Homo-oligomer: A and B are copies of this chain.
Amino acid sequence: MIDKQVISTALAVADIPDGACVMIGGFGEAGSPTELIHALIDQGAKNLTIINNNTGNGEIGLAALIGNGQVKKMICSYPRSRHSKIFPELYRAGKIELELVPQGTLAERIRAGGAGIPAFYTATTVGTQLADGKETRTIDGRDYVLEYGLQADYALIKCEYADLTGNLTYNKTARNFNPLMCMAANITIVQARKLVGPGAIDPEHVITPNIFVDHIVEISTPLIEADLIAENRRYP
């Protein structure tokens, strides 16, 4: 029987090499695979390109990965937020690259990367400086810019239920970018709050079909980012 379980986060991320492009799910705290990110900090891969909507909060999770000097470039839509300080400091110091992508275009580029669409047109950014240098085209009298699909070597994903074959469901707005990133990464690594047997998830309720999932670690009581930030905790 197909069994994609891995027994530890360390084993799950062990093969991620220096220079890899890694998609990390989540929107703020919701759906963020914090334990997998911490394992990647322990593992130490460097010169990473990270795709996430944000740049992490406080000194844990994605912010800690950046603070640990492992990230060469961020591709994201919103690199500043209330509790974000590590990325802004490094960015101002010229120590990290940024590709700023509108949130909807980021989502669509990831979906395109997973769906075999190399490029598409969108009206988002037309007439703004984010369209500078981009190819444009008029279709039925409206202007559009050409955007390219995004793919990654790895995706780090948080889900609610996973079955052993890799079917996933998510909790509420923790769904966000996770299902898209599962599609767009060569290797998808998932931390599941609950790992169940094949057939335990109704086929009608599967959000990410198992074809998009490679490795699963069960993390039944994941860290709650807001609590860690309130306590000024840092990782490691």
- Considering only residues 140-177 of chain A, those with a C-beta below 8 Å from chain B are 140, 142, 144, 148, 169-170, 172
Q: Are B120 and A121 in contact (CB under 8 A)?
A: yes
Chain B residues near A108: list those with CB within 8 A.
115, 117
Within the complex, which residue of B121, B137, B142 is in contact with A117, where a contact is CB–CB below 8 Å? B121
How far does the alpha carbon of A118 sit from the alpha carbon of B120 in the complex, in Å?
8
* Contact digits for A24-59, partner B, Cβ 8 Å, 1 yes 0 no: 000000000000000000000000000000000000
Interface SS of chain A: helix, strand, loop or mixed?
mixed
Q: List 10 A-B contacts (CB under 8 A).
A: A116-B122, A117-B120, A117-B121, A118-B123, A118-B142, A119-B139, A119-B144, A120-B121, A170-B204, A172-B203
How far does the alpha carbon of A137 sit from the alpha carbon of B119 in the complex, in Å?
10
Residues of A within 8 A of B (CB): 108, 112, 115-123, 137, 139-140, 142, 144, 148, 169-170, 172, 203-205
Chain B residues near A115: list those with CB within 8 A.
108
